[in-house]
Amino acid sequence: MINNFKNLILSALFAALISVGTFIKIPTPLLPITLQTLFIILAGLILGSKFGAISVSIYVLLGLSGVPVFTQGGGVNYILNPTFGYILSFIPGAYLAGYIREKFGAKF
């Protein structure tokens, strides 16, 4: 019970880190890279597949509820944006990173 509560708190923390990482850009010659991807993969690696996917789902639900956590704002109308599929792919990406860590890696 306490371990699940700890994982839910860490999921909420990673959802906040993903939100902040969206706006931190690393300039590169071809296209800017944000820390959003790093935090999504870290969520999967540290929290595991289930809670990593939950943390990214919290991030997506925050954005769809109207909190401007996506790069171009937020809200339900963001579903019509061409980059929404990219954002949805973060959920299985975090799950896959957690699954690989659980299957082949060491426990944190």
pLDDT tens sequence across 49-92: 999 999 999 999 999 999 999 888 888 998 998 888 989 999 99
pLDDT at residue 33, as a whole number:
86
Rounded to whole angstroms, how far apart are CA atoms 24 and 91? Answer: 20
Comparing 45 with 83, the larger pLDDT belongs to 45
Q: Residue 1 above 70 pLDDT?
A: no
pLDDT band at 108 (very low <50, low <70, confident <90, very high): low
Count of CB atoms situated within 10 Å of the CB of 5: 9
